[in-house]
Amino acid sequence: MAGGVRARRNAQWPWSRRKNMFDPPTPLDIILVSPLRALINLIYHILLLFRGAPFKPHRNKPTIRVVCISDTHTNTLPVPNGDLLIHAGDLTNAGTVEQIQAQLDWLASLPHREKIVIAGNHDSYFDPKSRKAEDKGKKLNFRSIHYLENKAITLKFKGGRKLNFYGSPDIPQCGGSDFAHLPPWENRIPQNTDVLITHCPPRYHLDLDLGCAGLLDEIWQVKPKLHVFGHIHSGHGREAVFWDEGQLAYERLQSRKKGGVVLDLLPSYAWLDAIKVVWYGIKGILWQRLMVGPAGANGALLVNAAVVYQSTTDVGNPVEIVEL
């Protein structure tokens, strides 16, 4: 790990305040903004652990090993082998043809049978409005890599298994008109999508509250089994979601105006949502463990696959691997 990454980790004390909105909030940040949400976030994620996996791989067919990375920012790194490699955008820093092609050549050299790539907000060549003058007219060689830009694809795997993929680079607008897109998600993602790949996270999930609310609404309609994204480096990791009233209450609580230390103590609808998160979480555990069993889980796995650490461009996060 780079010395700069270690220095950033050592500099962030629990009682300090974060200096960058793309860095994770410290405990002090969380408590000062909303102690109620701090408590419910902790309880919600403990309940998720007890609920277990949101889905189980096929019993009678070979599993598909999906290797997920994002936000490599011109870095190359050791990548475990698998049936499929997904890169969820921000291959580069400057977005030039030279940088993008170098990343594509590296990805093409990896042994995965299938590879899917989408663009990120730093990969400006893919947006004609943001393409640098010296890159106009130049072409990229994708080799056997599938590049998805608001596009769906079906891939076949061993054992006759098929998965439907949809990929999009859109993120909430940030950093100026040449830096991102406004996300027109409504009714755009096919209903039969098994694996959704976006550069942006959905709001309130592995996103530091910087994700896209419109994308969250859309995944509630589509309910993909796996959603891979990046963009918010500090949100790296994975989170199960279950399409039920408990998750709705959790997201509704996150969307409410934050009251701070004093106002959070007063009765409000936020407290009602907090109670629902706990009630439906416990109910979900009992139903899944005692009634239908783990194989009956009806949920999805969200994966923030950013490999660079916090607001740096130094590799510091592990590669995520999912068995489908």
DSSP 144: T
Helices (H) and strands (E) in the chain, counts: 8, 11
So what's the pLDDT on residue 259? Answer: 80
The answer, yes or no, to whether residue 3 has pLDDT greater than 70, is no
Burial of 241 (0-12, 13-18, 19+ CB in 10 A): buried
Answer yes or no: are the C-beta atoms of 92 and 73 closer than 8 Å: yes
Question: What is the band of 303 on the pLDDT scale with cuts at 50, 70, 90?
Answer: very high
At 201-213, the pLDDT tens digits run 999 999 999 999 9
At 275-300, the pLDDT tens digits run 999 999 999 888 766 665 554 568 99
Answer yes or no: are the C-beta atoms of 157 and 129 closer than 8 Å: no
Going by C-alpha positions, the residue among 277, 278, 242 that lies closest to residue 256 is 277
Q: Where are the domains of the chain?
A: 41-243+298-323
CATH number of the 41-243+298-323 domain: 3.60.21.10
Residue 167 C-alpha from the chain's centroid: 13
Q: Worst-scoring range by mean pLDDT, 32-46, 90-104, 171-185?
A: 171-185
Answer yes or no: are the C-beta atoms of 69 and 87 closer than 8 Å: yes
CB-facing half-sphere around the CA of 46: CA atoms within 13 A: 9
DSSP 283: H
The more confident residue out of 129 and 196 is 196
For residue 318, give the 3-state DSSP assignment: coil
Beta bridge partners of 84: 66, 114
Q: Is the CA virtual torsion 296, 223, 38, 18 positive or negative?
A: positive
Answer yes or no: are the C-beta atoms of 33 and 261 closer than 8 Å: no
Answer yes or no: are the C-beta atoms of 179 and 217 closer than 8 Å: no
219-246: average pLDDT: 96
So what's the pLDDT on residue 99? Answer: 97
Rounded to 5°, angle at Cα 239 from 149 and 230: 35
Mean pLDDT of the chain: 89
d(CA 237, CA 48): 14
Rg of the chain over CA atoms, in angstroms?
20
Please report where in the chains the tokens 């239908």 appear, as a residue: 292
* Single pTM value for the model: 0.91
Amino acid letter, 80: P
- Determine what percent of the chain falls in helix, strand and coil, rounding each to the nearest 5: 35, 20, 50
Q: Which residues contact 141 (CB under 8 A, 6 or more apart)?
A: 101, 104
The answer, yes or no, to whether residue 90 has pLDDT greater than 70, is yes
The more confident residue out of 58 and 181 is 58
Answer yes or no: are the C-beta atoms of 209 and 254 closer than 8 Å: yes
261-282: average pLDDT: 91
d(CA 23, CA 20): 5
Going by C-alpha positions, the residue among 75, 127, 51 that lies closest to residue 298 is 51
Q: Which residues contact 317 (CB under 8 A, 6 or more apart)?
A: 233, 236, 306, 307, 308, 309
For 284, list phi and psi in degrees, rounded to 5: -65, -40
225-238: average pLDDT: 97
So what's the pLDDT on residue 46? Answer: 96
d(CA 201, CA 303): 9
So what's the pLDDT on residue 56? Answer: 79
d(CA 306, CA 319): 8
For residue 117, give the 3-state DSSP assignment: strand
> Which range is most confident: 3-7, 117-121, 183-187?
117-121
